[in-house]
A = this chain, B = another copy of it.
Amino acid sequence: MANDKRMDCVILGLLCHEPLTGYDIKKRIDGALSFFWNGSFGSIYPTLSKLTESGLVIKYEVNDGGRNRLLYSITDEGKKVLLEWLKEPVLKDELRYETLLKLFFGEELGMKGTLMHINRFEEKIKTNLSMLQMFEENLKLLQDEETHKYYLLTVMFGIETYKAYLKWCDNARKLLEVR
């Protein structure tokens, strides 16, 4: 059913804060959003066209010295649509960890292989955690803008979660190595 990644809502949400190009949107998605969302150019640009057609955003060309860029900004109608969606209850929170799938079948792989996956997972998480902690510090410095409070909420979520993952890594290793 329609619009699994809700690219339209993501774009409207981002444009609420400031006008952006498609390329900018991709950077935002790969940045602060990347811990809980993702999306590709192949869905960003077509969605921008659709949103322009239906009058939820306006496109205008700008030329600031460099090459021409297509900047998009949200309309009042767009804000209304965004708000409608924001008010609706969440439909789906989904976690899909291949790591856990492999661990679930760990008996076939054996202890050594399983430990390998746990260690690799731990490495990735440590990297992500320190990135999030940098985000967090930056956000705490920028307490002036109300928006940042909401960004901080999602960053805190990531930090809390990743810390729990690391704790689990320790416990998991202990459980496997016992006996």
Instruction: Say yes or no for A82: interface residue by CB 8 A criterion.
Output: yes
Instruction: Say yes or no for A175: interface residue by CB 8 A criterion.
Output: yes
Given contacts A86-B108, A176-B149, contact A36 B101 (CB under 8 A): yes
Instruction: Say yes or no for A13: interface residue by CB 8 A criterion.
Output: yes
Return chain B residues, CB-CB under 8 Å to A37: 96, 100-101
Given contacts A121-B90, A149-B176, A153-B172, contact A105 B6 (CB under 8 A): no
CA distance A89 to B113 in the complex (A): 10
Nearest chain B CB to A26's CB is how many angstroms away? 16
| CB pair B109 A98 closer than 8 Å | no
Residues of A within 8 A of B (CB): 6, 9-10, 13, 16, 32-33, 35-38, 79, 82-83, 86-87, 89-109, 113-114, 117, 120-121, 124, 146-147, 149-154, 156-157, 160-161, 163-165, 167-168, 171-172, 175-176
